[in-house]
Structure 1
Amino acid sequence: MKMKTLSTTTKEFGTTLSYSYSFRTKKTAQEIFNLLLNIPAWWSGIFEETIAGPSKQVGDEFEFKAGGGAHYTKQKLIELVPDKRIIWEIRECHLQFVTNHSEWVGTHLQFDIESFVDDTKVTFTHLGLVPQFECFEGCSGAWTQYMEALENNLNT
């Protein structure tokens, strides 16, 4: 049985709430972990994305562009716990569709992977993507699309 929860305001980042999305899959933690480190395998195919740079070891940086240049970010891999957690920090950002183009700078993209007897739970949290951000509605909607695609990929 497929179980999914979607919560846009459940994880705390300081004293504010951040976007989060969780689902369960029959894939192993190792399969999920390896897929997540292959950025184009899960963060592409929706908004004309281009991804450049490595993301396999702590300190690696990659660039993400989407929407015909409307979205640019540079991420640095800051934490890797094999088969359990991956965290990237947004180092640079240019979002053309909001007043504060660098709204994401300093936020974190975090995946937590939990193994259970019959399945594995994947939780994505964009720590710092909070309802107070101008882009919260649009960005959380885009994250939901990416997470649903990842979930479908892992459940097929």
Structure 2
Amino acid sequence: MTANYTTTITVDASPQEAYDAINDVSSWWGRITGSTTAVDDEFVYVVPGLHYSGFRVTDLEPGRRVSWLVTGSHLDFVADKQEWNGTTVRFDIADVDGRTRVTFTHDGLTADDECYDVCTNAWGMFVDGSLKALIDTGVGAPYSFGGDEALTTDDHDELHRQVATAAAASKTV
């Protein structure tokens, strides 16, 4: 069995500050539609022309853990467009000698997956770079779009509907 993708950052902030930053997804990953503040909340993240994914918040333990289930996805750059479906993104937060360690794991994303190299590179950029910067300095480096890539609120809403429809269809199978 191949291991799930994991990366760890250590920051000079409290576990609660790290938890709060993780849940401010737009400030470190990019624009989302939906909410991340309560268990069963759902949100959609989009990279136009490349990737979109829908998530359901499955675990929120302030200062300790955040988990999201991928309820639907579309990866334009691999054969299995729904490769992320049913995987889980998890942030485990711990106080270690007065510093905070955040261990990020994408359960179900393994070296056997076609998107592994591209996806782990992106997760590294966002978790090791942008999220760490947000926690350390208050300013992340989320992905943003302009020009022809800019998505309207209606675009985001339509993608959210598509992910919700795909998730509902998968429950009836």
TM-score (norm 1): 0.83
Structure with the largest fraction of helix: 2
Q: Which amino acid aligns with 1:118?
A: G
Task: Report what 1:51 is aligned to.
Answer: 32
Correspondence list, 1:106-125, <5 A: 106-125=86-105
Q: Which amino acid aligns with 1:54?
A: S
Correspondence list, 1:41-120, <5 A: 41-44=27-30, 50-66=31-47, 68-120=48-100
C-alpha separation between the residues in 2 aligned to 1:38 and 1:154?
10
> Which of 100, 117, 123 does residue 143 from structure 1 map onto?
123
C-alpha separation between the residues in 2 aligned to 1:142 and 1:81?
25
Q: Give the secondary-structure state (helix, strand or coil) at the position aligned to 1:58.
A: coil
- Flag the structure with more relative contact order, 1 or 2, with Cα contacts below 8 A and sequence separation at least 6: 2
Matched, 1:35 2:21: yes
Gaps of 5+ in 1: 1-14, 45-49
Task: Report what 1:9 is aligned to.
Answer: none
Corresponding pairs, count:
136
Q: Give the secondary-structure state (helix, strand or coil) at the position aligned to 2:104.
A: strand
1:43 Cα shift? Answer: 0.9
Task: Report what 2:6 is aligned to.
Answer: 20
C-alpha separation between the residues in 2 aligned to 1:19 and 1:42?
19
Aligned CA RMSD, in angstroms, stands at: 1.1
Q: Which amino acid aligns with 2:125?
A: Q
Q: Is the 8 A contact 2:21 2:131 kept in 1?
A: no
TM-score (norm 2): 0.75
Larger Rg, first or second structure (1 or 2): 2
Gaps of 5+ in 2: 138-173
C-alpha separation between the residues in 2 aligned to 1:98 and 1:69?
13
